[in-house]
Amino acid sequence: MIKSLLLISLLALSSLSISAQQKDKPKQQVSKQKTISPMFESKLDSASYAFGLSMARDLQKRGLKQLNGKLVAQAIDDLFAGRPSQLNEADEYHAISEVLTAAAENAKKEATAKGDAFLATNKTKSTIHTTASGLQYEIIKDANGAKPLATDSVTVHYKGALLDGKVFDSSYDRGEPISFPLNRVIQGWQEGLQLMPVGSHYRFYIPYQLGYGESGAGADIPPYSVLIFDVELLKIGS
């Protein structure tokens, strides 16, 4: 686990390399474009700055909010120049693990505090229902159709958003509903859709424990995210 943290720069390099290869294939003219900013004297300068950006961006995603940039540069210069390291390998692992662990804990506290505060306030509204698991929902449009079982497949239209209103997925935007087995989706959906009659429209407020948990999902759903889904149940069965 800790060793993998030391490979951040290598992962960033690999990511940049793959991205460059993918861009070069469909467009042969990419290599002809000027890639050096006026502030850089060479492609190496440009690439050096790009490596720094990529590593910093990755560390930010891990919850780190600051680094001593001068010491980062010194470590890189020492290594490339063959000078002795100021840390032995064990201290290197410990330093990285300690800082990233603390950053992750702080990020969790901030994210969960925000989500918990929202859910606590939302729960007090007269239109909100709360289940034993902590799932919150409101009925936008009721219906008298059948309700699905956990073993059923369903067809729905939906829109998913974060607390800040950012929409991360929408079948409405794609112009077609989606079908799936109910036992293959996040727990909040499994529980919530079993409450819905066919033809109804519900809005779910899903705690992170019933959503994508501590890991989040891709670039659009951060860890510990409360999810807000508008869901219309169109059909039961494939």
More confident residue, 27 or 157: 157
Specify the pLDDT at position 168: 95
**108, HSE (Cβ side, Cα atoms, 13 Å):** 10
Count of Cβ atoms closer than 10 Å to residue 124 Cβ? 7
Q: Per-residue confidence at 33, pLDDT binned at 50, 70, 90? A: low
Quick check: 117 pLDDT over 70?
yes
Element (H, E) at 188: helix 187-193
Instruction: Provide the annotated active-site residues.
Output: 158, 168-169, 186, 212, 229
Specify the pLDDT at position 2: 41
CATH of region 126-236, choose from 3.10.50.40, 1.20.1560.10, 3.30.160.340, 3.40.50.720: 3.10.50.40
Specify the pLDDT at position 15: 44
Quick check: 132 pLDDT over 50?
yes
* Structure letter (DSSP) for residue 236: E
The full set of domain ranges for the chain reads 2-86, 126-236
- Within 8 A by CB and 6+ apart from 78, the residues are 84, 85, 86
**What is the rounded CA–CA span in Å between residue 188 and residue 206?**
6
Question: What mean pLDDT, rounded, does the chain reach?
Answer: 86
More confident residue, 60 or 17: 60
Specify the pLDDT at position 61: 79
Q: Per-residue confidence at 11, pLDDT binned at 50, 70, 90? A: very low
Positive or negative, the Cα torsion across 59, 63, 65, 67? negative
pLDDT, one tens digit per residue, over 155-171 is: 999 999 999 999 999 99
More confident residue, 169 or 35: 169
Specify the pLDDT at position 172: 96
Q: Per-residue confidence at 238, pLDDT binned at 50, 70, 90? A: confident
pLDDT, one tens digit per residue, over 88-105 is: 999 999 999 999 999 888
Per-residue burial over 156-180, b = 16 or more CB atoms within 10 Å of its CB, e = otherwise: bbbbbebbeeeeebebeeeeebeee
pLDDT, one tens digit per residue, over 56-79 is: 988 887 888 899 999 999 999 999
Output phi, psi for 145, to 5 deg. Answer: -75, 180
Name which of 224, 195, 198 is nearest 211 in CA terms.
224
